[in-house]
């Protein structure tokens, strides 16, 4: 049985109103706790931030939403329904992938439709391989869902059991790149089902095959978009929590945890003291480390994921056949990972994600315009001493020129550019919004525990702890944090 915080946990302060903090608040309130949420921004969201420029409603954080049932669980914790707060629109296709040879593939979540698309794209053998890969990814997710993704860990021994044997037999501890390569021979198709490793901060050839579950979420479970933009998700969660009796304080910066040993009696801001029986730190590793005064110490420092440059664009028009999410793969795929992870360089042959949310929700841009986000993976601040104050605008222009040459954007104007320096100013370690990389030594029970002190009353939530990076894991982390306090 997973350890829970000892003593009274009636009054809980949640620091951070990002998705993990909001998930924790809802699950805690549903379990009968008195919950107060403190957020330094004037609105909920955390990394799922917002920026309004000239009538464009920009989301500054994640753009890919999967596994909406986790949102349903959070709303249901307080007896409410997601449909009453938030409208989710399924995306068809989930992605459009384009390649350097001029070919393109729409990625469908419907199995039969995708099998036919693969057949038309690469032939019968690859269509059969896709069908077998889909079955393998589904089994992988079924094995991992409850025991590996949906559970806290107190020891590596917690992994031991029938599910560990099943995961081993499925090849979950091998290489993701090699595992997908057993099913698909076409290099372009392999990229479609392994690029998600970048979310986990590692190259496909180095990622554990267990992280194929991210491809399951993207390409089988389905991709969605909330009407009103991604900002609508944290706002809906916060509204539901407030309706259930959670108290919110926005625009307040937590300065100190009032501690005796590892137990916190109150959370302090510059103006106010909030007494509590327990604390959930949903702030990200850098802020939680500051508030915990550098504790607990790790023998080996964390390795951080690559970061990203995001160029927010206003387009007078969009090109034909553009999807909500369009992935533009460069030719030298393996070199991309070596450059940004190992060599600390900007991509010489970039692979890029172009999101055009106004195709799905035109209200996000002024009449006659479209809103687009162009995301380019890049080294984090630890990996590369790039002077982003000098480089950002020039690099943004290069990215726009590259996508124009690939005939994926035209007639666009930059609205804003976000770089690792901006993520760092927002408190993200090493200037990356993707937190600690999912290397073997930073996965599962080896990732920073959500219960940092066995004798304490502090619990962590967010991408830096169990289970990891991405909207689904972050929502789960909030539920796991609540379980540490509720049993």
Where residue 462 sits, what CATH number does that domain have?
3.50.50.60
Q: What is the pLDDT of residue 93?
A: 97
Work out the average pLDDT over 469-479. Answer: 96
Residues 313 and 417 in one domain: yes
Work out the average pLDDT over 106-116. Answer: 97
Q: What is the pLDDT of residue 311?
A: 98
Instruction: Decide if 247 is inside a domain.
Output: yes
Residue 264: beta bridge partners?
259
Say how far apart CA 112 and CA 223 lie, in whole Å: 17
Q: What is the pLDDT of residue 362?
A: 97
Q: What is the pLDDT of residue 151?
A: 86
Please give the mean pLDDT across all residues of the chain: 95
Residues 309 and 344 in one domain: yes
What is each CA distance from 386 to 24, 140, 344, 352, in whole angstroms? Answer: 36, 39, 9, 20
Banded pLDDT at 176 (limits 50, 70, 90): very high
Say how far apart CA 10 and CA 8 lie, in whole Å: 6
Q: What is the pLDDT of residue 75?
A: 98
Residues 292 and 349 in one domain: no
3-class DSSP assignment, residue 310: strand
Say how far apart CA 463 and CA 465 lie, in whole Å: 6
Structure tokens at 30: 């549903």
At 375-398, the pLDDT tens digits run 999 999 999 989 999 999 999 999
Instruction: Decide if 1 is inside a domain.
Output: no
Work out the average pLDDT over 174-193. Answer: 96
Structure tokens at 10: 């009636």
DSSP 77: T
Say how far apart CA 15 and CA 259 lie, in whole Å: 15
Instruction: Decide if 459 is inside a domain.
Output: yes
Banded pLDDT at 277 (limits 50, 70, 90): very high
Q: What is the pLDDT of residue 2?
A: 80
Structure tokens at 299: 């023998």
Instruction: Decide if 3 is inside a domain.
Output: no
At 348-367, the pLDDT tens digits run 999 999 999 999 999 999 99
Instruction: Decide if 211 is inside a domain.
Output: yes
Structure tokens at 260: 């005796």
Structure tokens at 349: 């042959």
For residue 356, cis peptide bond before it (omega within 30 degrees of 0): no
Instruction: Decide if 401 is inside a domain.
Output: yes
Residues 30 and 75 in one domain: yes
Answer for the pair 279, 15: CB distance below 8 angstroms, yes or no: yes
Q: What is the pLDDT of residue 198?
A: 83
- Given a cut of 80, is residue 157 above it in pLDDT? no
Domain extent for 140: 112-187+197-221
Banded pLDDT at 158 (limits 50, 70, 90): confident
Give Rg (Cα) of the chain: 22
3-class DSSP assignment, residue 352: strand
Residues 176 and 278 in one domain: no
Residues 246 and 214 in one domain: no
Q: What is the pLDDT of residue 313?
A: 98
Residues 289 and 343 in one domain: no
Banded pLDDT at 199 (limits 50, 70, 90): confident
Count of structural domains within the chain: 3
Q: What is the pLDDT of residue 155?
A: 75
Instruction: Decide if 4 is inside a domain.
Output: no
Work out the average pLDDT over 404-413. Answer: 96
Select from 430, 451, 471 the last residue of a domain.
430
Residues 6+ apart with CB under 8 A from 162: none
**CATH number, domain containing residue 380:** 3.30.9
Residues 365 and 388 in one domain: yes
Residue 214 sits at the vertex; the CA angle it makes with 175 and 196, to the nearest 5 degrees, is 70
Residues 216 and 270 in one domain: no
Question: Quick one: 15 exposed, middle or buried, by C-beta within 10 A (0-12, 13-18, 19+)?
Answer: buried
Site of tokens 């267990």: 210
Residues 454 and 413 in one domain: no
Residues 309 and 340 in one domain: yes
At 40-90, the pLDDT tens digits run 999 999 999 999 999 999 999 999 999 999 999 999 999 999 999 999 999
Banded pLDDT at 101 (limits 50, 70, 90): very high
> Helices H, strands E: what count in the chain?
14, 20
At 113-134, the pLDDT tens digits run 999 999 999 999 999 999 999 9
3-class DSSP assignment, residue 38: strand
- Report how far Cα 242 is from the mean position of its chain's Cα atoms: 24
- Given a cut of 80, is residue 1 above it in pLDDT? no
Query: Does the predicted model carry a pTM greater than 0.85?
Result: yes
Instruction: Decide if 464 is inside a domain.
Output: yes
Residues 238 and 310 in one domain: no
């Amino acid at each position: 049985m997973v350890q829970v915080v000892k003593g009274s946990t009636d009054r809980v302060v949640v620091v951070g109103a990002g998705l993990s903090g909001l998930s924790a608040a809802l699950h805690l309130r549903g379990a009968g706790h008195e919950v107060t949420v403190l957020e330094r921004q004037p609105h909920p969201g955390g990394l799922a931030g917002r920026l309004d420029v000239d009538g464009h409603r920009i989301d500054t954080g994640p753009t890919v939403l999967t596994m909406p049932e986790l949102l349903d669980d959070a709303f249901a914790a307080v007896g409410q329904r997601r449909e009453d707060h938030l409208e989710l629109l399924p995306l068809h296709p989930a992605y459009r992938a384009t390649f350097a040879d001029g070919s393109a593939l729409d990625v469908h979540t419907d199995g039969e439709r995708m099998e036919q698309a693969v057949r038309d794209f690469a032939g019968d053998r690859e269509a059969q391989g896709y069908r077998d890969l889909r079955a393998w990814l589904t089994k992988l997710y079924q094995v991992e869902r409850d025991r590996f993704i949906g559970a806290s860990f107190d020891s590596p021994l917690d992994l031991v059991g029938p599910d560990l044997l099943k995961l081993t037999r499925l090849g979950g501890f091998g290489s993701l790149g090699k595992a997908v390569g057993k099913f698909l021979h076409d290099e372009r198709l392999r990229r479609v089902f392994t690029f998600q490793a970048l979310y986990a901060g590692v190259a496909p050839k180095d990622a554990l095959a267990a992280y194929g579950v991210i491809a399951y979420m993207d390409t089988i479970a389905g991709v969605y978009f909330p009407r009103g933009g991604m900002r609508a998700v944290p706002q809906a969660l916060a509204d539901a929590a407030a309706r259930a009796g959670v108290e919110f304080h926005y625009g307040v910066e937590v300065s100190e945890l009032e501690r005796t040993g590892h137990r916190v009696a109150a959370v302090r801001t510059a103006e106010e003291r909030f007494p509590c029986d327990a604390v959930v730190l949903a702030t990200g590793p850098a802020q939680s480390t500051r508030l915990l005064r550098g504790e607990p110490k790790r023998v080996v420092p964390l390795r951080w994921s690559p970061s990203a440059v995001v160029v927010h664009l206003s387009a007078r028009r969009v090109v034909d056949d553009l999807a909500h999410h369009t992935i533009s793969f460069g030719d030298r795929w393996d070199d991309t990972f070596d450059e940004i992870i190992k060599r600390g360089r900007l991509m010489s042959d970039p692979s890029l994600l172009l999101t055009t949310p106004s195709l799905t929700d035109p209200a996000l841009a002024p009449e006659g315009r479209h809103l687009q986000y162009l995301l380019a993976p890049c080294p984090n601040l630890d990996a590369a001493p790039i002077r982003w104050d000098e480089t950002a605008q020039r690099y943004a222009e290069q990215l726009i020129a590259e996508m124009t040459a690939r005939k994926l954007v035209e007639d666009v104007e930059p609205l804003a550019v976000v770089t690792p320096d901006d993520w760092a100013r927002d408190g993200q370690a090493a200037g990356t919004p993707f937190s600690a990389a999912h290397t073997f030594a930073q996965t599962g029970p080896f990732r920073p525990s959500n219960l940092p002190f066995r004798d304490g009353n502090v619990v962590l939530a967010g991408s830096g702890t169990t289970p990891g990076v991405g909207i689904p894991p972050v929502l789960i982390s909030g539920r796991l944090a609540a379980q540490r306090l509720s049993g």
